[in-house]
Structure 1
Amino acid sequence: MASSPFDTRDVERDANGALRYTNPPASLAAMLRASVERAPHAEALVEVGGPRVTYGELWQRAARVAGGLRALGLKPGDRAAIRLPNGTAWVEAFFGCVLAGVVVVPVNTRFTDKEVQYVVDDSGARFVFTAGTALPDGAPFAAGELKPDDLAAVFYTSGTTGFPKGAMTAHRNLLSNCETVFRVLRIDRTVPTRTLVSVPLFHVTACDSQLLPTLMQGGTTVIMPAFDIKAFLRAIAAERIDNLITVPAIYWFAINQPEFADLDVSHVKWLSYGGAPIAPSLVRQLKLKFPNARVGNGFGLTETTSIATYLPHEYAAEHADSVGFPSPVMEVKLLDADPATGVGELLIRGGNVVSGYWNKPEKTAAAFVDGWLHTGDLARIGPNGLVYIVDRKKDMINRGGENVYCVEVENAIAAFPGVAEVAVIGVPDAMMGEKVGAVVVPLPGMALDAEALVAHCKSEIADFKVPQYLHVQAEPLPRNPSGKILKPKLRETVKWGRALR
């Protein structure tokens, strides 16, 4: 087995054989309380254009929210849904629930009313935090009996088909991910950091891998109420941000702003990305533009409480198509791997994996088998331990008996100059069953040369994987509320022209 590039000390196996960190805090409440006691006057939260909140103030406000929830009749184990925009109130609502022993249900604010109602009904939420309404307020309260395996939150997935599923996330899972963040990014947990949250807090990336680890180490979480590239750049400089996490497209957009050349980013020490393929050339640009930062690619799912694998700085440019190595408390293996390609379904086990889906025993039984999460992702694992995601099982193209993994083709196209977004899907064909089609959105002001793009792909991937159909559009690719590309919609709406070859 390949050795891990991460710190694996103080890791043990639980009774079921899964890896976990030893001696985590008892709960999120205990974690926050420790930070409050260390430095009550330190800055915990900053809302861009809004309030600044110290650790002592955060605790006091959350305790009053907890008291307000109790006054409304909510008991430990009850659920409360947070339907609030990004801001300090979101965090106060989150920890108000935690201190009351109430299970948090973060709601995607991009959901339709029908989808929101489904989440509220499915979770059995007894209270919904809504924008424009004051947070519950009551006598300060903090539950003292919370345990690591108590349910802390139910994060709803946002798949591309069907209704979302609620991932039952324990305090232990969230605290495990905090420790994972410190280890894979190589952050000294004793030195407070400043992170900029530019994605919605209802996402596990923002909540689990930015907000909570930063609070755990006594750092400052700077929150953007809404994304704006100019405000993003201003906040990096004005707030002396040293830890950045966002998607590759935002980084490309940022470094291509005219004012970036005059921006002081010398204080940025960590720069992580994920959620979409990244071109090796962009990785090299990020290393150049942020010379003091360690860059890296994170991969995970709602079911893995954010980080499952991470590609560290030393491997980032040479292996840009990889999602990295398993985190210190995660193990990976492949199910039914193809002897020829080494590709199989990625299974994951470890301290970050949630216990199952809320109110869905059949889906839980299908996805969580003998402690292993069946991700539905097709992957291969290199001899050095690097994990490569090649497709979703349901998205694989069967071209005349040859399997074509869409992510592999998307990675090749993403590396071609001028590509902003790409989605690869199967195009029905009477003889072959399916052929490879690519929907490409060019960067603003760029024109794509189809012949050059095909030639580039031929130099990167096998001939049978090279797209035979190309659809170029100016409009962004359709996405669901969590930002995942809606390939079923593309299959229905894209009008393919003549085959390229």
Structure 2
Amino acid sequence: MLRKHVELRPDAEAVVELGGDRLTYAQLWRRAARVAGGLRARGVTAGDRVAVRYPAGTDWALAFWGTLMAGGIAVAVNTRSTSWEVEFVLDDAGVQVDLPADAPLPDGEPYTATDLVAADAAALFHTSGTTGRPKGVPITHEAFATNAENLIRCLGIPRDAGSELRTLISVPLFHVTGCNAQFIVAAYLGGTSVIMPELDLPRIAVALAEERISLFVTVPAVYSLLLRHPAFTDADVSGVRWLAYGGAPIAPSLARSVKEAFPAATVINGYGMTETASLITVLPDQDAAEHANSVGYAVPSVDLGVVPIGDDPYTGELVVRGVTVTTGYWRRPQATAETIVGGWLHTGDVVRVDEAGRVHIVDRIKDIINRGGENISSVEVEAVLLTAPKVADAAVLAVPDEVMGEKVGAVLFGDRAEIDVAEVLAHCRERLADFKVPQYAAVVTEALPRNAGGKLLKNRLRDQVRWGDPLR
């Protein structure tokens, strides 16, 4: 895939680091081949793991492609991890060569592996570890390419987009959203990855115009902050043609605001997992505002299934299979057997499929609150809280109770002076059954903790939040 664009468009920009280097496809190929040669000189052979720990930028891109060209497997390490967490990942992956942030790129005689096949593992990403120790997920060359194909079909990106496709990557490259849904997609069509080393809202507003960005992907929280930032007021976004968000629920009002702020863009909501190389479903542009509480329909290459948890056959745990879905966790046979049953990967997400075939995330199986025998979906309550006045983000947690077992607690992110908790509760009572209305509430002024994919870190929230007296 990469060689094709090197041959057809050698002088086209492939990778740009904001404030750093700019590489054409020819330059990227030559330098990555030297990285590959340096890795081979250090003993890397087919299937060996190389830890890529550079910050987002051209060095990361060169290390990634260089590892693949050496025939190795790139281990995308979370640069925000503690030293203990990094050591765990390096040991779990059985890394042969570690490339920490302060290490020079390997250099040697140019080398390009010629014996790779589509089913070979190309990279190893680790799950977020929100429910235990992180698990390694091998992603094959075929899964990378197929995920890219899914995204360009669902967004309607022309195959001859070429130089028109310039994506601004503001999310981490060590996560499948940044790597698979942007970095690989740009390379798939011969476009340009414009990489932001760290999130900078004013810089995003400027870069959208200066770098002629046509594709932008990020999580709802960033869109919320960006649209309210003074730097965005006069930003030129006329060139943005394709827009995507995912990783977390989005408030319907925010979905409408995004469409209004980027009037020339096709907007989609994407839902996926590390285990599925990114996308499982996509909510198309025509549904983005009116059905913001849905994650849409299956992408072309996957099959979806529902394992009922009650009498309703359209509500239950979502299962998925297809070429983008991993065949197993790295060196975790027990976890693999528990998660992949009969060829179907169990996502752990409880979904409802509506009459149009749209998928709605109801909850995580482990996030259902049991209040006196009544099962309450935290995701359902969060969706209602996101539509309440002045609430920018929300999380729902179970609060232990001696009588009921668990009660509903709401963590609200926003301006403490503007959020009226009584008004928020009244809003909930109009839209939720009485037993689902939060009985505890805490207002916080710092953004809710999320991992690189936008998933709420509820374990951290539970440690941070101190509940006051019950509200009713």
Counterpart position of 1:416: 388
- 1:321 deviation in Å? 0.7
Shift of 1:35: 1.3
Superposed displacement of residue 454, structure 1:
1.1
- For residue 428 of structure 1, give the secondary structure of its aligned residue in structure 2: strand
The residue that corresponds to 1:21 in the other structure is none
User: Counterpart in 2 of 1:159?
Assistant: 129
1:493 offset after TM fit, Å? 4.0
Map residues 131-210 of structure 1 onto 2, 5 A cutoff: 131-192=101-162, 193-210=165-182
Aligned to 1:466: 437
- Is residue 73 of structure 2 the alignment partner of residue 103 of structure 1? yes
Conservation of the 8 A alpha-carbon contact between 2:416 and 2:445: no
Which residue of the partner structure matches residue 452 of structure 1? 423
- Which residue of the partner structure matches residue 426 of structure 1? 398
Contact 2:16 2:194 in 1 (8 A): yes
* 2:213 match: secondary structure: coil
Asked whether the 8 Å contact 1:438–1:467 carries over to 2, the reply is yes
User: For residues 336-485 of structure 1, what are the structure 2 equivalents within 5 Å?
Assistant: 336-339=308-311, 342-442=314-414, 444=415, 447-480=418-451, 483-485=454-456
Q: Greater CA deviation, 431-440 or 176-185?
A: 431-440
The Cα shift of 1:485 comes to: 2.4
Are 1:286 and 2:253 matched, yes or no?
no
CA distance in 2, matches of 1:484, 1:368: 22
CA contact (8 A) 2:307 2:313 kept: no
Range that drifts further, 383-392 or 480-489: 480-489
Cα gap change, 1:479 to 1:213, in 2 (>3 Å): closer
| Paired residue type of 1:218 | G
- Residue 482 of structure 1 deviates from its aligned partner by 5.5
- Give distance in 2, aligned partners of 1:85 and 1:313: 33
1:115 equivalenced with 2:91 (yes/no)? no
Q: Find the partner of 2:204 among 221, 225, 232.
A: 232
Q: What is the match of residue 25 of structure 2?
A: 55
AA aligned to 2:100 is T
Q: Distance in 2 between matches of 1:146 and 1:88?
A: 24
Please give the secondary structure, in 2, of the residue aligned with 1:295: strand
Q: Decide whether aligned partners of structure 1 residues 210 and 48 sit closer, same or farther in structure 2, where only a CA change above 3 A counts.
A: same
- 1:498 paired residue number: 469
Using the TM superposition, name which of 248-257 and 105-114 deviates more. Answer: 248-257
For residue 262 of structure 1, give the secondary structure of its aligned residue in structure 2: coil
Distance 2:248 2:37 in 1: 41
Q: In structure 2, how many angstroms separate the alpha carbons of the residues matched to 1:492 and 1:111?
A: 19
The separation in 2 between residues aligned to 1:398 and 1:184, in whole angstroms, is 38
Instruction: Note if 1:129 corresponds to 2:129.
Output: no
**Mean Cα displacement is larger for which, 416-425 or 63-72?**
416-425
- The answer to whether the 8 A contact 2:248-2:455 is kept is no
1:248 to 205, 220, 238: 220
**3-state DSSP of counterpart to 2:95:** coil
Name the amino acid aligned to 2:440.
Answer: Y
1:319 partner SS? coil
Give unpaired runs (5+ residues) of structure 2.
none
CA contact (8 A) 1:195 1:242 kept: yes
1:322 to 276, 285, 294: 294
Q: Which has the higher contact order (CA 8 A, sep 6+)?
A: 1
- Normalised to the residue count of structure 2, the TM-score between the two structures is 0.97
SS state at 2:171 partner: coil
Distance in 2, matches of 1:164 and 1:34, equals: 35
Post-superposition CA distance 1:319-373 (Å, at most 9, x none): 1011111101111111133225943111011121012100101101111112111
Q: Is the 8 Å Cα contact of residues 108 and 482 (structure 1) preserved in structure 2? A: no
Q: Which amino acid aligns with 1:240?
A: R
One-letter identity of the residue aligned with 2:460: K
Name the SS for the 1:126 alignment partner. strand
CA offset digits 1:59-117 (Å, max 9, x no partner): 10111111111011111111101011000110110000111110110000011111101
CA contact (8 A) 2:124 2:136 kept: yes
The one of 45, 49, 60 aligned to 1:90: 60
* Alignment-derived partner of residue 458 in structure 2: 487
Q: Secondary structure, in 3 states, of the residue corresponding to 1:419?
A: coil
| Percentage of identical aligned residues | 52
Q: Report the residue type matching 1:330 in the other structure.
A: V
Cα distance in structure 2, aligned partners of 1:475 and 1:199? 19
User: Which residue identity does 2:459 align to in structure 1?
Assistant: P
Q: Unmatched 5+ residue regions in structure 1?
A: 1-30
Which residue identity does 2:406 align to in structure 1?
E
In structure 2, what residue type is equivalent to 1:80? Answer: V
For residues 2-81 of structure 1, the aligned pairs below 5 Å read 31-81=1-51
Rounded to whole Å, the distance in 1 between the matches of 2:429 and 2:246 is: 26
The answer to whether structure 1 residue 299 and structure 2 residue 271 are counterparts is yes
Any idea what the Cα deviations from partners look like across 1:273-330, whole Å, max 9, x if unmatched?
A: 1112111111111111111011111100000001010111100111101111110111
CA distance in 2, matches of 1:343, 1:336: 6
Structural RMSD (CA): 1.4
CA distance in 2, matches of 1:134, 1:428: 51
Deviation at 1:162, TM superposition (A): 2.0
Q: In the alignment, is the contact (CA less than 8 A) between 1:356 and 1:368 conserved in 2?
A: yes
Q: Contact between 2:340 and 2:346, CA under 8 Å: does it hold in 1? A: yes
Give the letter for the 1:467 counterpart. P
Aligned amino acid, residue 82 of structure 1: V
Deviation string 1:111-166 (CA, Å, 9 cap, x unpaired) is 11111011111111110112222111111111111101011111111121321000
**CA-to-partner distance for each residue in 1:160-205, whole Å, 9 max, x for gaps?**
1321000011111111101011111111121120100001100100
Provide the TM-score with structure 1 as the length reference: 0.91
Q: 1:262 to 1:441 in 2, by over 3 A?
A: same
